[in-house]
Structures are given as structure tokens and as C-alpha cells.
A and B are shown apart, each in its own frame.
Chain A
Amino acid sequence: MDFSENQPIYQQISDHICNQILDKKWTPDDRIPSVREIAVAMEVNPNTAMRAFQILQEKGILVNKRGVGHFIADDAYETVLELKRIEFIETDVPAFIKSMKRLGYSLSDIKDLA
């Protein structure tokens, strides 16, 4: 993963975690890498990694067991799916449609590719 997207680093970290959940690589009760491990792997300030964890905790995606670590919440998959679906409709689809129109395609042209 690189930082090329115009997105704050803490969001890139939280997106990465969400994608692991959507791909079912991380499932409920799994202990995920620690804040420090993620900070080191991504070469970022530990406070930045901490912020990503805190936000996911507030959304009920992660559970913090004090002294043990962060775990995937029971209904994390459903929560992430709902959040990411909204994001997809609000952000990805309009960008896609804009490109589609610019290139002179209609939805029916694209339909067969899906």
C-alpha cells in the first residue's frame, strides 16, 4: 500500500483493516496486529495509527481488550459492508459515471463487462 491517494494516512490504515474484514481474512474474535506493529509496517507516527484504531472502535468494528489487544467485533463484517456500500455509491459511482460519459459510453455498453 502506498500513500499516493489523496486521503489522510489514518483513513488509509482504517480502509486497509476494513478491506481485510470484507475479504474475510480477519474474522470476529481475531486479534489484529497492534497499533505499534501497524505503525512500524507503514512507517507512520504511532499516534496516527492509534487514531485509525479509535475511529474503528467508535464505529463498533474493533473491540479493545485492555492489555490484550484489538479484536474484530462480532458484527464487524455487516457494519463495514454497510459503510463501504454507502461510500461506494456516494464516491466511486459518481466518479465512474463521470469517466464513462467523458469517454462516450452508456450504461448498456458497460453492462456486459460486469
Chain B
Amino acid sequence: MVTIENLSFSFTKYEKLFDGLSMKLETGYIYGLFGMNGAGKTTLLNHISGLLFPDEGSCLISGIPSRSRLPETLQQLFFLPEQFDLPAISADMYTKIHAPFYPQFDESRFREILAEFVVDPKKKLPELSYGQRKKFLIAFALASNAKLLLMDEPTNGLDIPSKSQFRKIMAASDLTDRCVVISTHQVRDLDALIDHVTVLNNGKIIFQRDIESISNTLGFEKIADDDNRFTLYSEDIFGGKAAIMPKSLTKKETQIDLELLFNAVINESDSINSQFETE
């Protein structure tokens, strides 16, 4: 669906934000895009959606450069930005104007999601709270049936019940012909939803694996201080250590601790990645 090859990009003359970045995204999956503040997650989403152009390298959506911004590309793409401005019209009017750009737009699904989120489509958009407007856009994004859905911090600003509703709505969506990218710091909100972990650091994708191969390769355990099993990465916690070790050293498959994995990949990407190559 998305093929990025050797992409370089800088905002200033002196500092490259992306330096030979490559990645591939396929349909059928929900990708979690993680990175530190300022790593360039939003900039990467802007490249994929054709809002920014690479200095070098290419970014293709179904084989077509996203910078060409062809209608056939754009009608299959929806980008839900973290910050957005909406015009002073009602949700109903917005939909009347914008839905025709998406030939697969599903009006009844749109109504359903709005109802689940308790967003009133009759109200003018700027009169809604930030969270309400965000939920309106999430509903629009999912109802657009765009094959490529990019979401930047979708759960930011959502209240407690809305986060759970968001997960339910995502879990109910048909992924067969769809590729979803969620960029987030809210790991705990979304860790059961994503099935690929993608980590952006120092201008490159330093880790991209699916959940199944991660849980087949790595073990996550809270261990005692005197436990002398070999660990790939560990952090001190009360009463011991939170550790990542080769799966062969844990008795069975363990639940992935995404926060720990992220820290491990940022600090020890080579030793973590080498585990996957020896399979």
C-alpha cells in the first residue's frame, strides 16, 4: 500500500530530519507508529499524505508518488491530524460538502459512529468541544472507507468512555483491504489494537515487526534481582527488574510490554533486532 524508499528530508539546511528512511505498509494491518517527541512522526504522516515532499527518495501509495496528489490517490486516503481547524458549519453540512470526495463513503456507518460517540451532527462544529470535534473527525475518517487511514494521536482529548468506544469501533472495522497507521504516545490506550510496531528514531525506521513475531521472539517478564537469566534490556522496578529476554528463556509466551519494548528499541536497537535475524 505504502512504499517509502530512501527518503531524506530536512526543514533546515543544517539538520536532516529523515536520512535514508525506508518502510513498507501493507493492507490488513493496524500499524502503531512510535517515536520520541520531535522524532518526526507527524512529518512522516505528512509525507505519506502528500502534504510534504521528500528532498530525496520516494514515497509511493499503490505505486503512485503521494506528492502527485492525484484524485485517485486522495480519495483512498484519509489523514486525521492531531491539530485541525474546522469551518463554522454543522457536522451535517460538512459531511454534505466533503463526503462526495470519498466514493466509498458510508453514510449509515457515519451516523452509527456519531451516535456511539454521542456527537450531535446538527451543532456547528466550532461549538463542539475539542474531544467532540475529534470524535466527529474519527467518525468521518472511518466512514470514508479510505483504504489508507492515517491517524495522529487519535485518542488525545478523548474522555474515558470515548477511548473505549474508539477501540471498539476500530476493532469492528474490516481491515481486509485497509491499512491503518496510528501515531501515538498513548501506548496503554491502544496497545491491544495495533498489530505492527514501528519505531522512528534518528531519521530512520529502526524497528518494524508484527506482534506475532515479537511475542514469538522476545519474552517480557518481571524478574527478581537475583535472577541471573540473560536479558536483552531491563529497567529497575520495585522489587526487581522489568526485563526483555530471548523467548527461549521464558517458559511460555508473554504479553508484550510496549513501553518497555519502545525503550529497549531506542537504547539497544541492534541487540533487539539481532534476535529476529537469528530465527
Find residues 54-86 in chain A having any chain B CB closer than 8 Å to their own CB.
Answer: none
Using Cβ atoms and an 8 Å threshold, which residues of chain A touch B193?
A: 43-45
The yes or no answer to A96 lying at the interface (CB within 8 A) is no
Chain B residue at minimum C-beta to C-beta distance from A12 = B255
Chain A residue at minimum C-beta to C-beta distance from B28 = A47
The yes or no answer to B164 lying at the interface (CB within 8 A) is yes
Asked whether, in the complex, the Cβ of A48 is within 8 Å of the Cβ of B195, the reply is yes
The yes or no answer to B215 lying at the interface (CB within 8 A) is yes
**10 cross-chain pairs, A with B, having the tightest CB-CB distances, nearest first:** A43-B167, A39-B171, A44-B192, A40-B171, A45-B195, A40-B172, A47-B195, A40-B168, A8-B215, A8-B253
Find residues 143-173 in chain B having any chain A CB closer than 8 Å to their own CB.
Answer: 164, 167-168, 170-172
Cα distance A47–B171 when bound, in Å?
9
The yes or no answer to A22 lying at the interface (CB within 8 A) is no
22 contacts between A and B (CB under 8 A): A6-B221, A6-B255, A7-B254, A7-B255, A8-B215, A9-B255, A11-B253, A36-B171, A39-B172, A40-B172, A43-B164, A43-B171, A44-B167, A45-B30, A45-B171, A45-B194, A45-B195, A46-B171, A46-B175, A47-B175, A48-B195, A91-B251
Interface string of A26-62 (1 = CB under 8 A from B): 0000000000100110111111100100000000000
Interface string of B226-258 (1 = CB under 8 A from A): 000000000000000000000000011111100
Asked whether, in the complex, the Cβ of A8 is within 8 Å of the Cβ of B171, the reply is no
Using Cβ atoms and an 8 Å threshold, which residues of chain B touch A5?
A: 255
Using Cβ atoms and an 8 Å threshold, which residues of chain A touch B28?
A: 47
Query: Among the interface residues A3, A6, A9, A91, which one has the most CB atoms of the partner chain B within 10 A?
Result: A6
CB contact between A42 and one of B192, B215, B220, B221 (< 8 Å): that residue = B192
The yes or no answer to B205 lying at the interface (CB within 8 A) is no
The yes or no answer to B277 lying at the interface (CB within 8 A) is no
Query: Among the interface residues B164, B175, B211, which one has the most CB atoms of the partner chain A within 10 A?
Result: B211
Asked whether, in the complex, the Cβ of A8 is within 8 Å of the Cβ of B255, the reply is yes
The yes or no answer to B212 lying at the interface (CB within 8 A) is yes
CB contact between A48 and one of B167, B192, B222 (< 8 Å): that residue = B192
Interchain pairs with CB closer than 8 A, number: 58
Cα distance A11–B252 when bound, in Å?
11
Chain A residue at minimum C-beta to C-beta distance from B165 = A43
Cα distance A42–B167 when bound, in Å?
9
Cα distance A90–B265 when bound, in Å?
33
CB distance from A46 to the nearest CB of B (A): 6
Asked whether, in the complex, the Cβ of B171 is within 8 Å of the Cβ of A6, the reply is no
The yes or no answer to B110 lying at the interface (CB within 8 A) is no
The yes or no answer to B29 lying at the interface (CB within 8 A) is yes
Known contacts A8-B215, A43-B164; A3/B171 CB under 8 A? no
Asked whether, in the complex, the Cβ of B212 is within 8 Å of the Cβ of A36, the reply is no
Known contacts A45-B171, A47-B28, A47-B175; A3/B254 CB under 8 A? no
Known contacts A6-B221, A48-B211; A43/B253 CB under 8 A? no
Asked whether, in the complex, the Cβ of A51 is within 8 Å of the Cβ of B212, the reply is yes
Asked whether, in the complex, the Cβ of B175 is within 8 Å of the Cβ of A3, the reply is no
